[in-house]
Structure 1
Amino acid sequence: MTVTFFWGGTFLIVHQAQQYCGPLLFVGVRFVTASLMGIAMFHRALRRVTMAEIRAGTAIGLCMCVAYVSQTYGLRTISSSRSAFLTALYVPMVPLAQWVMLRRPPHLMSWVGIGLAFCGLMLLSGTGAASGGFGLGECATLLAAVATMGEIILIGRFAGSGDSRRITVVQLVVTGLLSLLAMPMAGEHFPAFSWVWLAGGVGLGAASVLIQLAMNWAQKAVSPTRATIIYAGEPVWGGIVGWIAGDVLPATSVAGAACIVAGVLASELRLPEHKKKSNATS
């Protein structure tokens, strides 16, 4: 839940920063900052990094880069509610991917939690979020949903195969460097200096170290499906932060938040297993 609190509080910062710079630069500054902080914090542990940890961090970092850049790019051309609707599609994607890729079918109550969380996300995104055309912004945001699914599945796959600190630093480095290196290919130019995008990138970079480290550590014991239900609480915290800042929360948003909380609670429940009957009576 700590991860979703930090995630939910970043919406306003990202939105403001995008008025002053492009998505690749902002994601690059954010994760290069996170990389430098991670290296400074865990430099001793990094001396023992293994090739398996480098491969794991690189795979996760590739998904992170695609997810963050695509969603940020999409928000430049589509509404935040439509972006939320399309990004939320990763919620039903993850349990299916876990089943197919990791051969771990989700528990019945996990499916109930997924359903409640997805319904809650739909209510939070608004009734008009699912309508309209399908342009470049929508394609980019749908790509972000698929990449987010890949990130969660890969973290679940590699979480127990190495040191969380080292894998986290590798994925932060990969995300930051790839974003900056992609700027010339994407035709994104370096913007005029502004404290808004610099402070936003550096500040979110510090938060990203905690977020990714917490995800890698927590998913050692939490399945991708259960983690997804918990991550769905991100917009709930975002709405609370917006409410504190003066936004008005409509009844549908409150209902959506309640559905997500109910989904998290439902996913923690386990139905009693029925004991198999003994030998049939004659």
Structure 2
Amino acid sequence: MSAVPDVPVSVRFGRAEWALVGITMIWGTTFLLVHWAMTVSGPYFFVGLRFGTAALVMLPFGWSILRAMTMTEIKAGLIVGLTIAVGYVLQTMGLQTIPSSKSAFITALYVPLVPLLQWLVLRRPPTLMAWAGAGLAFIGMLVLAGPDALAGGIGRGEWLTIISTFVIAAEIIAIGYFAPKVDARRVTIIQLATASLLSFAAMGPAGESVPGFSWTLASIGLGLGLASALIQVVMNWAQRSVSPTRATVIYTGEPVFAGILGRIAGERLPSGAFAGAALIIFGIIVSELKPPTRQRKIAEE
């Protein structure tokens, strides 16, 4: 029997992974801001304002290259823009009635959904370690949320947020599918503009009126517009080299930051927060482990 060679385990993060970690931190802060915005605006107008501002922010950086836009980029922008509009409107509607930290915890349900949907839609079965890592991260979410995370039962706000997680999972998969085929700047502008226009267009059928001017709404809309532009362009760039499953596990840090900020703002952080955060980090590491099963089998032969 031949000696079994040492097989290196890759848990290293490159620039793309660290970029996703950075936007995950920013993403986690948005829940509380949206929760505040819902006191002065309806969900459709706010989502339209948020992503419309983001599109305008991106326009100067991509205007000169829009003439080279391809049909694939238009298709990618429309599809991802649709998922952004639907996912964020549902999530924003949920934030009208539930706390920001609770919304972040529920939103984390997309963690196990991405590998499953990727398997069903793209026929790309995740590795065993990717499943294990996503599972550990999801358990971390439950521990982080605590046993009373859904106290009082599942209400309208919770159900809207749960449904939004399926759409967010579809967004991540769509970005991962199109990212290697498109220019990140061009497709980001299309995505953001599509999400904004669809949200504004839905105001009429939904019976939502334009809110009066508010400095709270204006400042949060501008701030989240800038954040959304940064988040979308980084996602499009980073997921050219980072798989949807790996990206999803990184995104599980989002409710950690949301919970911390919610606690600072007066929301109750569950007692298992630190244990949950540790499980999330462990899930990220596990998802990158590569068991030497195949190499051992080859060596033994």
After TM superposition, the score normalised by the length of structure 1 is 0.92
Q: Which residue number in structure 2 is paired with residue 38 of structure 1?
A: 58
Does 2:29 align with 1:9?
yes
Amino acid at match of 2:297: K
Q: Which residue number in structure 2 is paired with residue 107 of structure 1?
A: 127
Q: Which residue number in structure 2 is paired with residue 73 of structure 1?
A: 93
Q: Is the 1:84–1:125 Cα contact (8 Å) retained in structure 2?
A: no
C-alpha change, 1:276 and 1:74, in structure 2 (3 Å) is same
Q: Which residue number in structure 2 is paired with residue 144 of structure 1?
A: 164
- Distance, in Å, in 1 between the alignment partners of 2:150 and 2:216 is 32
Q: Any residues of structure 2 matched to 1:123-162 within 5 Å, and which? A: 123-130=143-150, 132-162=152-182
Q: How many residues are matched?
A: 280
Amino acid at match of 1:189: S
Q: Is the 2:135–2:283 Cα contact (8 Å) retained in structure 1?
A: yes
CA distances 1:261-281 after superposition (whole Å, capped 9, x unpaired)? 11112222221233335898x
CA distances 1:73-125 after superposition (whole Å, capped 9, x unpaired)? 01213444553443222111110111122222112221121011101111222
- Distance, in Å, in 2 between the alignment partners of 1:134 and 1:246 is 23
Q: Which residue number in structure 2 is paired with residue 235 of structure 1?
A: 255
Aligned mate of 1:56, from 73, 76, 91: 76
Between 127-136 and 263-272, the greater mean CA deviation after superposition: 127-136
Q: Any residues of structure 2 matched to 1:110-121 within 5 Å, and which? A: 110-121=130-141
Q: Is the 2:118–2:125 Cα contact (8 Å) retained in structure 1?
A: yes
Between 138-147 and 197-206, the greater mean CA deviation after superposition: 138-147
- Distance, in Å, in 1 between the alignment partners of 2:285 and 2:261 is 22
Between 268-277 and 241-250, the greater mean CA deviation after superposition: 241-250
- The CA RMSD over aligned residues, in Å, is 2.0
C-alpha change, 1:107 and 1:21, in structure 2 (3 Å) is same
CA distances 1:147-178 after superposition (whole Å, capped 9, x unpaired)? 00110110111111111111111000001111
- Distance, in Å, in 2 between the alignment partners of 1:226 and 1:130 is 27
Q: Which residue number in structure 1 is paired with residue 241 of structure 2?
A: 221
C-alpha change, 1:245 and 1:100, in structure 2 (3 Å) is same
Partner-residue secondary structure (3-state), 1:66: helix
- Distance, in Å, in 1 between the alignment partners of 2:105 and 2:49 is 27
- Percent of residue pairs bearing the same amino acid type: 53
Q: Is the 2:32–2:100 Cα contact (8 Å) retained in structure 1?
A: no
Which ranges of structure 1 fall in alignment gaps of 5 or more residues?
none
C-alpha change, 1:125 and 1:80, in structure 2 (3 Å) is farther
Partner-residue secondary structure (3-state), 1:104: coil
After TM superposition, the score normalised by the length of structure 2 is 0.86
Q: Is the 1:81–1:129 Cα contact (8 Å) retained in structure 2?
A: no
